[in-house]
Structure 1
């Protein structure tokens, strides 16, 4: 038994953390601000999310001896960024985070709920996700007209680096955005005692509208686009992940960190593939160390979330939106393709997409819920007529 991580897994873990964190941290900040979080709460949420996925990834990988990479829910965060300010502000959003985490725990411990979540047609779930992402993915191109001197360097960097290394395209765009910000504003180096982030407790305030409009869609999107694919990725590399205990574990991590502003912890898909592949380590039995090391680096980045958040708050208008948009372009393309690929679901998926993208709110329920409900109704009626 190897008690110390091989050097190759340390470098893989570092790459995983850089890609996982810097490819999507603008999205978590956008999502938290949209939910009503102030600067301190946003920093606490980013820190809690990074520590949650870091510690959960370390624990699960050491426990199962499998490269169980854990992430925050990028699609779920995009859902938050496109949602209306909830009742009771951020405290109401935290209650929805807690509910989504509890549903994940129950789906891991109680198979009927897990099967129910998995039974939602994938094309409709992907169409709902694509509808949520549309407005966010349009921002970079609106920025070309409204703030070209800020948007062009970011988009150009992303495009050029993407030609050579897709995983590092968004981190490179983050560097470009940082340089744009440094040129545009004056940034004061924080004092040593300000470097480490501090947790901020938010007492949840439960409201049925928030639970239905935020908590349930957050759970569905995360299950359909992160947790289920994450388990499938591990299986594709020859591992035997236990779905129940993995889901219950990431759900528990979500519940524990939600009062500190963390939206949803889940199983990773892309970084799981990085940890489970041959590039991680030639010996398949040692690849779990890559996920362990990735978790350690996630925790280190999380400790400095306050500095990252403070710097991001100085960014000129549309810079963060441009970053979030380019980070989500790949997710949007994959979701749109998956939604419309199957002709059997195409019409219902298109309706789900359009209703979700409309941004409507009826009876206190947001567009994502109505998109899934109306699309599901159309699909059900269509199937009954074909019988």
Structure 2
């Protein structure tokens, strides 16, 4: 049951972010549904395989911060095929990171404050979207936001899922279900032949890799370690990298170790016997495989929704990650100026030579840190393992 809860929480808390990211990359509804299926299948297989093989509760999630990055980035000039090429590049880098420990050490060398600031800047523009869209759908978006605010006060664990339920109720009153196109509701994978170009690889692939490593994989290892489990680095990172490459060919952006939701499967919630908790990882994988069958229905409903409703669900689901990223970005006083520059550049949406603001924000932050002479200053104790995970964006489950 802990594994079932892990998968349900991971999916419902952030699927809207994934759909927003794929749509921003130019994916059609059929390609978005295929991408969602591909992510669920690769996540499910990875959860089952890694947990069964290692006898540890290793859970896998899609890259929620990566999806947020896509949602705030400009559509690639060559369309979704070039975005898929960038997804493949990201998967290849993840695979290499699993096989070459030096690459992981290179990622860790990026100051925690700057990596978190890049994520904060990306999330800030996405979290502001509902307020820009309120004039178009005031009632539906208002219901989502008010529901989230009330539940965040009285039942924070249910805030995001309550907002999702509120959105579905609003859709029912608006007649969206009757207007939905159900022709693509059956599960179907759509092959996308990747197109590779340097600008998109740098603008999308590299930031997607960095944000996935720093905000998901590294914290995911730390969460498992906090419960006494040793992550099989090569198998886990290399395996999820290969899964990302395969899923990319059908529209999925990236999968990685679960971070915050990993505590549900690895902690006391999964039973007193630590040696038996690997079963939770397997059951989470089975649920992901089953949930993937409904991806077409989810995309059909999202397509018929009033403008901004599901964007609002995505935004409230990312508030927790935004808060955590800002706190982490400003935690080290020596890096605050560089981190603030990183946030500002990431939020600006600037595009230079076809490369978006996520890459330039990271570059700007590192340059400012170097000029100020703090580029090699170590982060605060524990900071490297405290980077905010985003597979469950608005809530941190108790560990017993």
| TM-score, L = length of structure 1 | 0.93
Quote the Cα distance in structure 2 between the aligned partners of 1:380 and 1:186.
52
Which of the residues 237, 241, 247 maps onto 1:247? 237
1:5 aligns with: none
* Distance change >3 Å, CA 256–CA 284, structure 1 → 2: same
Q: Shift of the alpha carbon at 1:386?
A: 11
Instruction: State the partner residue of 1:265.
Output: 255
Question: Does residue 1:351 correspond to 2:337, yes or no?
Answer: no
CA–CA separation in structure 2 for the residues paired with 1:35 and 1:173? 25
Shift of 1:93: 0.3
| Structure 1 unaligned regions, length at least 5 | 1-10
1:129 aligns with 2:129: no
Distance 1:386 1:246, change over 3 A: closer
Aligned to 1:366: 356
Please tell me whether residue 309 in structure 1 is matched to residue 299 in structure 2: yes
Could you tell me how far 1:121 is from its partner in structure 2? Answer: 1.0
Name the CA shift for 1:192/1:319 in 2 (closer, same or farther; >3 Å): closer
> Which of 258, 275, 282 does residue 285 from structure 1 map onto?
275
Q: For residue 172 of structure 1, report the CA deviation from its aligned partner.
A: 1.7
**Contact 1:356–1:367, Cα closer than 8 Å, also in 2:** yes
Number of aligned residue pairs? 377
Is residue 136–residue 307 contact of structure 2 (8 Å, CA) maintained in 1? no
Partners of 1:146 and 1:200 lie apart in 2 by: 32
Partner residue in 2 for 1:327: 317
Larger mean Cα displacement after TM superposition, 192-201 or 33-42: 192-201
Q: How does 1:1-387 map to 2 (within 5 A)?
A: 11-188=1-178, 195-383=185-373
Higher mean C-alpha displacement, 342-351 vs 164-173? 164-173
Bigger mean CA offset, 141-150 vs 274-283: 141-150
Question: Which deviates more from structure 2 when the two are superposed, residues 176-185 or residues 90-99?
Answer: 176-185
Kindly indicate whether the alpha-carbon contact (under 8 Å) linking 2:369 and 2:375 is maintained by their aligned counterparts in 1.
no
When you count helix as a share of all residues, which structure comes out higher?
1
Of residues 32-41 and 359-368 in structure 1, the stretch that sits farther from structure 2 once superposed is 359-368
Range with greater deviation from structure 2 (193-202 or 54-63): 193-202
CA RMSD in angstroms comes to 2.0
Deviation of 1:146 after TM superposition, in Å, equals: 4.6
Which structure 2 residue ranges, 5 or more long, are not aligned? 378-400
Q: What secondary structure does 2:261 align onto? A: helix
Aligned position for 1:4: none
* 1:192 shift after superposition: 10
Task: Give secondary structure in 2 for the equivalent of 1:235.
Answer: helix
Tell me, in whole angstroms, the C-alpha distance in 1 between the residues paired with 2:297 and 2:254: 22
Q: Distance in 1 between matches of 2:176 and 2:229?
A: 50
* Rounded Cα–Cα distance in structure 1 between residues aligned with 2:329 and 2:376: 21
> Do the aligned residues in 2 keep the contact of 1:18 with 1:171 (CA within 8 Å)?
no
